[in-house]
Amino acid sequence: MTRFRALLFITLLGVANVAGWWWFNRPIPVELSFDEPFPSVSFAPFRRGQSPITKVFPPPEQIVEDMESLVGVTRGVRTYTSQEGMDVVPAVAGRLGLEVTHSAWLGRKAENNDLEVEALIRAANRHPDSIRRVIVGNEVLLRQDLTADQLAAHIRRVKAAVKQPVSYADVWAFWLKNPQLAQEVDFITIHILPYWEDEPVGVDGAAEYLVKIYRRVAEAFPGKPILIGEAGWPTRGRSRGPAVASMENGARFVRTLARVSRENGFDYNVVEAFDQPWKAQLEGTVGAYWGVVDAQRRVKFAMSGPVHPNPSWAWHGAIATILGAGAALVFLRRPERYAAAAGLAVTILAQLAATLVVWQAIHAQALAYDTPGDVWAWVRIALHATLAVVVVRAAGRSFRTDAAPVMAGWSERLMPLYAFSAICVTALLLFNGRYRDIPPADFLMPCVGVTAFALARMAVLSLSWRDAFAVGRLFGQPGPGGVAPIPGLAVGLMLSVVAAPMSEAWALARGEDFIQFHPAFSDQFPLLVRALWENAEMVTWTVMLAVMAIPFLAEWRRSER
């Protein structure tokens, strides 16, 4: 191959890579628009390193700064506690012209509950102009922290001591299960979160679902005012059935909520103002990404116009393209060693590997919410990048006309390590998957990268599929003992192919509301079957497991010959 052709391949593939980054991150049109401030947003301004779990709370100056940033975005805020630094909110809100739905956080500890209630009463009486209404407890019945009677006692105490309307907030279904509480409150506060339902609802069905649930509660409690206390959509995290967490869907849902509420006269509160990194500890990645503003205090999307999935795509694409071009140049600096097809294959693999590394790094860093998370993210990034280097190096050396020997060494253990990890992750998804991330991004290289390398081996080296894919021959010649317990990993991966979609059906089958609303198995069965394929992200993971099994099945077949 000539030097000109090598440079041409590198240039064309670089341009193609940049074009791919643009294509997959181009602005997505969202026709819905809304040009008014929200009535209210949930205000819990925890930044990175702050958490109610670790008792590190936002300082007053940060709370003031965050509230000032919401002027023009919302007409009010909803708090969740009357302590933990939030005692400054009513005064600041009064100065900024914001209304407050102030709250007392109730839990299992009676002493803390008393302090919360006392602080709420004190704030409500001290700031009657800014505190419009109060909420006593949030999802207490959902968490089973208190009984309905215990909760009612706290509500009565507050109601007797303040002039503002009093409520309790919980998922809509828990109001239907505890109708006696309606007589204790002035208005009913319901949470409608289609993403979190036992039977998740996709964003396309959100408008109909919001209206249906609101009317269902209104019919159960005629004459009672209703506040939609939480309604929102995550912008990152795992999918749940048809409910996909994404920037586009976050914008689409919030705009839908605003439009539907205006058309039907609903009072609502958007959950939430800011992303809260600490929530990932409880709910997985998705818990940290419910804000309309991210953790760095950047607005994620406007209320009209297209949505940008990744505003930093040009920077990410440039890094991937430069890394890919550099990796290709390492081997093609002496192009005479390669036939044209081999040189093209090396260039493609270099750009592909670089893109997969950058893509995985973006994902891994998004999942990190504290220092241990940062360390774990960089471990995964380093492992992924190492496999990318191994793949490109193996291609660069073995595709030469004077093919250099490629010794497996430690690199032979990378694929078994990834296979074992995939099996373990899938088992965790099966038995406890509600809040666990589905991990396709962390396995891009062992799936997509290695498969592309094996296909290139078939094309360039004229190998059979078995010889091209066999895990023991991918990166060199293994020692006499082989590379791993191949049959066990092959079987484990194939069992995981079955277990992955089953995890969706199993999670649905255990849902309390699902069982209550569909008590007969004849009603449950078609819904459980649909759950096997309804989550596109889980289907992708299932396919990836099957693809990752191929090198182990190929090696198993080779060893039996």
Residue with tokens 């700031």: 127
Q: How far apart are CA 522 and CA 82, in angstroms?
A: 47
Q: How far apart are CA 202 and CA 241, in angstroms?
A: 8
- Structural domain including 153 reads 26-288
CA angle, 76 then 80 then 84, to 5°:
110
In a domain? residue 358: yes
168 and 255 fall within a common domain: yes
234 and 375 fall within a common domain: no
In a domain? residue 375: yes
91 and 163 fall within a common domain: yes
273 and 351 fall within a common domain: no
CB 289 within 8 A of CB 233: no
- The pLDDT of residue 456 is 97
387 and 248 fall within a common domain: no
Say whether pLDDT at 411 is over 80: no
In a domain? residue 510: no
In a domain? residue 549: no
17 and 102 fall within a common domain: no
Q: How far apart are the first and last CA of the chain?
A: 37
264 and 319 fall within a common domain: no
CB 148 within 8 A of CB 141: yes
pLDDT band (50, 70, 90) for residue 480:
very low
What does the block give as tokens for 394? Answer: 């193996």
Alpha helices in 414-520 (DSSP H): 414-432, 444, 450-461, 465-469, 486-509, 512-517
CA angle, 269 then 108 then 152, to 5°:
65
261 and 230 fall within a common domain: yes
48 and 13 fall within a common domain: no
Please indicate, yes or no, whether the overall pTM of this predicted structure exceeds 0.85: yes
Sign of CA dihedral 461, 465, 467, 469: positive
Out of 406, 424, 457, a domain closes at: 406
Out of 406, 424, 456, a domain closes at: 406
- The pLDDT of residue 319 is 98
For 163-196, letters b (16+ CB in 10 Å) and e give ebbbbbbbbbbbbeebeebbebbebbbbbbbbbb
Number of domains in the chain: 2
The answer for residues whose C-beta is within 8 angstroms of residue 136's C-beta and 6 or more apart is 103, 104, 106, 117, 120, 151, 154, 155, 158, 166, 167, 168
250 and 387 fall within a common domain: no
Rg (CA), the chain: 28
Amino acid at 201: V
In a domain? residue 527: no
- The pLDDT of residue 74 is 95
- The pLDDT of residue 408 is 57
pLDDT by residue (tens digit) across 21-70?
999 999 999 877 878 899 999 999 999 999 999 999 999 999 999 999 99
CB 60 within 8 A of CB 88: yes
In a domain? residue 209: yes
Out of 362, 388, 406, a domain closes at: 406
pLDDT by residue (tens digit) across 270-309?
999 999 999 999 999 999 999 999 999 999 988 889 999 8
